[in-house]
Structure 1
Amino acid sequence: MNKADFKLNGTPTRALTAATLGFFFGAMAISLFGPTARALSTSMGLSPMQVGLLVAAPSLTGSLFRIPFGASVDVNGGCRSFNVLMAASVIGLVGLSVLFSTRFPDRMDGLYGLVLLLGCLAGCGIATFSVGVSQVSYWFRKKDQGFALGVFGGLGTASAGVLALGLPVLLAAFGFVWAYYILTGIMIAGALIYFFLSCNAPYFQLRDAGFSEKESRSRAAGLGQELFPAGNIRDSLRISAGIPQTWLLVGTYFTTFGGFIALTAWFPTYWQQAQGLAPIHAGVLTMVFSVLAAVMRVPGGLVADRLGGVKVSFGALTAAAAACAAMNLDLGWVGLFAVSVVIAVAFGFNNAAVMKLIPVYVQKSVGGASGWVGGLGAFGGFVFPPLLGQFVAMSPEHGFGWGFLLFTALAVVNMLLNYFGMVRRA
């Protein structure tokens, strides 16, 4: 391209819209197996821990792939990485649809490992989170990042709750196999929407157009870009890993975003088996929890812009610790649902606060920090469900409630570490 012919493609609003829509479709995989766990468990004869591992499978790649792909934004701007992850998710869903159409329900013996593998592949769409966080951070000025990232994370992750209800409805209307084919078609549509709408931040467009590093930074700054990458993927990960607050944010995000993913996948099983509710009823309650936890990132981001991320995080963790402990009380499903709403609000506010704090503490390597925080933090979505299933295996009567004490304990530990690592250090 002739430098004289350069014209910026896109705006911050367009970039935010593309990233949010792309992540909205990619994040649906969080609920890929939760609503169908009971049917798959019956078909394959699974134990409670195997069920927990099954519902968590998409979160394995959805979390760990956030690390390299988040850091890759500092090199390629993000669009290429986002498209690769969406394509992988589509391939996984196509594989599951074909498998279920030929083997479900009576010929599923010995296919547990293959279902896990395809679920992990479908979960790649969840990993678009760290890519989108970095893209949005590079497009927006620091004073507006809390709100922008709240919109991205809040509206994007709402899809997991929508699918928690939508999949049982599809199952009832079209049957098991066609429900997954329809889900595959929706994912393909989402991948195409992002492909045609997305745009990298000004610095990356200028650099790709042939401008020098100095010219790209200077012109991008004139266009409103305030954050710039520090180097290649390795440098981005190394620089961010050398900042202590990165690891404090990882731990905090592990508790609340990992918890959000885990409970979105686990609640359909919880409401059906622990409270005896019907699948669609369980889907409605799970949807409310998941959507609320997601959209609360928007006001959470606004409050974090005004009060600071650290204060919002401490308040949210306190509420989460108390509410998760209350899940052990004999309140009936209505009372426990009310408690789950408090957990959703607390998780959403803390997740927004953590995203606000990334560009505050790791200004020179937002992509790398987003990868570490988004990847290892979201890894909780893979770790927690098998542990929750193990509590149930240990005590079918009390195990469902005991599992929530994991989040209480972790929230308390997070507050202690953050106090000494952020408040006292500051």
Structure 2
Amino acid sequence: MKNTGKLQLPLQTVSLIAGFMTWVILSSLLPYIKEDIALTAQQATWVTATPIILGSILRFPLGFWTNRFGARWSFTISFVALLFPVFYISVSDSFFDLIAAGFFLGISGATFSIGVTSLPKYYPKERHGAINGIYGMGNVGTAITSFMAPSIASHIGWQPTVRLYLFLLAGLALFNLLLGDAKEPRFTVSLKEQVRAVYKKDKLWLLSLFYFITFGSFVAFTVYLPQFLINNFGLTKVDAGFRTAGFIALATVARPVGGWLSDRWNPFKVLMFVFAGLTLSGVLLSFSLSFSWFTFGVLAVALCAGLGNGAVFKMVPMYFSKQAGVVNGIVSAMGGLGGFFPPLVLTTLLSVTGHYSIGFMALSEFALVSFVLIIWMFYQEKLRLSANILEHTVEAMLVTDTNSVIQFVNPAFTAVTGYTAAEAVGQKPSLLKSGKQLKPFYDELWRSVREHGYWQGEIWNKRKNGEVYLEWLNITAIKNDAGEVKYYAGMFSDISKAKTKDTGNAAS
């Protein structure tokens, strides 16, 4: 499996590069297409945004199909299917032709779900962030097309340039058929069962929102930036393509870095940086800027979006290891949709207000909301981890408030005392009293807790069935930041058997 995985990573990454190269044919060549096909500004925006629709929606079923049939067939069939819309684009002569072909061109963008579902099967969880990040570098395909397609079109025309992609797609279909893993592990759980298991979980929709912002920013800038640079800064078609390729390259390089940092550090903290950066970048871009400041703001978006893309897909297997195919599909679909709306919104705002400020400010506000949510998730995760530690610790534990009312007990408490959580919570620890210790014993115990913050020692207690046993007890006062005692935590273990054994050994 290891050797097979080593081959699948480069094969699927190259396949994604080809898919993303194909996905942005229309946006990269639109300045040339407009010379032959008359398009209004609104129509041009629809032409560039349309491939995103199927490229987003199809990611959901493609993730599921990859789990069931494997990446080999998913990539092969996708590339064969793409031959038809790509050829149709090359013979289009109207707006409606471009829309129809562009819709099915979205298959190329949906191929992203294949690798993020397939590749983690070959690697341990601690490497999933880096592996998905490396695979995600397939985004560089958009940079290759943005940089090369305008240059080639300026020499041979846009129709022959589009037809060159037919050879690329046919070649990758053949490579996947011959080199893809025919023995990839398959999962046959029905789509309905997988969706039912995840759709009510808030983590799914939070991750979808985060990817909607990070990958959506990447896609939106990729498809809209060439036209924006030409119309607002007077750049040539080739220069606009070159600068768009620079944006894509930075975001692509940042993606595996985001995955690697998430593996080595913490994906929550990486996303905090990402959304703080996107918030500030959106504010910067919302002002009328010189070309230099605009470039700085756009490159900051590229860096943050790339890091965020890598971090989000590190988090998916943290919460959904058993439904990775469906969840990867849903999250990546939301990311694609995140790239569909901004170009349309920006064009509409330009026609209504004459500038783009509100659109860029919207990016800032969405990022700010995500920043707050990721902080909330970070502390929720810390609380969940603490609860898991308490739930699985070997020693029995109970926590009381300052009025000695039990607030929490762990499973080990039930194992030792016989009282369930439902029976113990709301009661006082006195329900365990054996009667062997008198009041002075407890007075001294609580004097020590008040003066020193803790007490430890042997104490006789009674189980639910009436059996008296000896335990070793540690009581600690839990204080808040102001130094006020809020809770008391008791940890104890049954030492009756050990005590009996020691007594027996001493007697012998």
Q: Does 1:333 align with 2:295?
A: no
In structure 2, the residue matched to 1:381 is 339
Q: Does 1:148 align with 2:104?
A: no
For residues 302-341 of structure 1, the aligned pairs below 5 Å read 302-341=260-299
In structure 1, the residue matched to 2:122 is 139
For residues 37-186 of structure 1, the aligned pairs below 5 Å read 37-41=30-34, 43-97=36-90, 99-100=91-92, 108=93, 111-154=94-137, 156-186=138-168
In structure 2, the residue matched to 1:261 is 219
Residues in 1 aligned to 2:362 and 2:214: alpha-carbon distance in whole angstroms:
11
Q: CA deviation at 1:62?
A: 0.8
Residues in 2 aligned to 1:261 and 1:31: alpha-carbon distance in whole angstroms:
9
Residues in 1 aligned to 2:182 and 2:193: alpha-carbon distance in whole angstroms:
20
Q: Does 1:33 align with 2:26?
A: yes
Residues in 2 aligned to 1:358 and 1:200: alpha-carbon distance in whole angstroms:
25
Deviations 1:27-56 (A, max 9, x none): 113322223323444544433222211101
Deviations 1:229-288 (A, max 9, x none): 581222223323232211101111011101211110000011100111111110111000
For residues 284-299 of structure 1, the aligned pairs below 5 Å read 284-299=242-257
What code does the residue aligned with 1:377 have?
G
What code does the residue aligned with 2:362 have?
L
Residues in 2 aligned to 1:346 and 1:355: alpha-carbon distance in whole angstroms:
15
In structure 2, the residue matched to 1:408 is 364
Tell me if structure 1 keeps the 8 A contact 2:31–2:237.
no
The CA RMSD over aligned residues, in Å, is 2.0
Tell me if structure 2 keeps the 8 A contact 1:74–1:231.
no
Q: CA deviation at 1:415?
A: 2.1
In structure 2, the residue matched to 1:197 is 179
Describe the shift of the 1:134–1:162 C-alpha distance in structure 2 as closer, same or farther (beyond 3 A).
same
Q: CA deviation at 1:126?
A: 1.1
In structure 2, the residue matched to 1:16 is 9
Tell me if structure 2 keeps the 8 A contact 1:67–1:371.
yes
Q: CA deviation at 1:96?
A: 1.3
Residues in 1 aligned to 2:351 and 2:183: alpha-carbon distance in whole angstroms:
49
Q: Which runs of 5+ in 2 are unaligned?
A: 385-508
What code does the residue aligned with 1:14 have?
L
Residues in 2 aligned to 1:189 and 1:417: alpha-carbon distance in whole angstroms:
44
Tell me if structure 2 keeps the 8 A contact 1:94–1:184.
yes
Tell me if structure 2 keeps the 8 A contact 1:312–1:353.
yes
Tell me if structure 2 keeps the 8 A contact 1:67–1:376.
no
Residues in 2 aligned to 1:288 and 1:384: alpha-carbon distance in whole angstroms:
20
Q: CA deviation at 1:194?
A: 2.7
Greater mean deviation of Cα atoms: 251-260 or 380-389: 380-389
Q: CA deviation at 1:353?
A: 0.5
Tell me if structure 2 keeps the 8 A contact 1:66–1:128.
yes
Greater mean deviation of Cα atoms: 77-86 or 52-61: 77-86
Q: Which runs of 5+ in 1 are unaligned?
A: 1-7, 101-107, 205-228
Residues in 1 aligned to 2:350 and 2:168: alpha-carbon distance in whole angstroms:
34
Residues in 1 aligned to 2:120 and 2:183: alpha-carbon distance in whole angstroms:
9
Q: Give the secondary structure class of the aligned counterpart of 2:321.
A: coil
Q: Give the secondary structure class of the aligned counterpart of 1:11.
A: helix
In structure 1, the residue matched to 2:474 is none
Residues in 2 aligned to 1:203 and 1:152: alpha-carbon distance in whole angstroms:
19
What code does the residue aligned with 1:130 have?
S
Residues in 2 aligned to 1:232 and 1:80: alpha-carbon distance in whole angstroms:
19
Describe the shift of the 1:67–1:176 C-alpha distance in structure 2 as closer, same or farther (beyond 3 A).
same
What code does the residue aligned with 2:297 have?
V
What code does the residue aligned with 2:52 have?
S
Q: Does 1:367 align with 2:349?
A: no
Tell me if structure 1 keeps the 8 A contact 2:253–2:306.
yes
Q: CA deviation at 1:201?
A: 6.4
What code does the residue aligned with 2:361 have?
L
Residues in 2 aligned to 1:201 and 1:356: alpha-carbon distance in whole angstroms:
25
Q: Give the secondary structure class of the aligned counterpart of 1:59.
A: helix
Residues in 1 aligned to 2:197 and 2:240: alpha-carbon distance in whole angstroms:
44
For residues 189-268 of structure 1, the aligned pairs below 5 Å read 189-199=171-181, 202-204=184-186, 229=187, 231-268=189-226
Q: CA deviation at 1:373?
A: 0.2
Residues in 2 aligned to 1:319 and 1:259: alpha-carbon distance in whole angstroms:
13
Describe the shift of the 1:404–1:187 C-alpha distance in structure 2 as closer, same or farther (beyond 3 A).
farther
Greater percentage in helix? 1
Residues in 1 aligned to 2:250 and 2:118: alpha-carbon distance in whole angstroms:
24
Larger Rg over CA atoms: 2
Residues in 1 aligned to 2:348 and 2:38: alpha-carbon distance in whole angstroms:
16
Tell me if structure 2 keeps the 8 A contact 1:26–1:89.
no
Tell me if structure 2 keeps the 8 A contact 1:230–1:364.
no
What code does the residue aligned with 2:179 have?
L
TM-score calculated relative to the size of structure 2: 0.71
Q: Does 1:417 align with 2:381?
A: no
In structure 2, the residue matched to 1:210 is none
TM-score calculated relative to the size of structure 1: 0.85
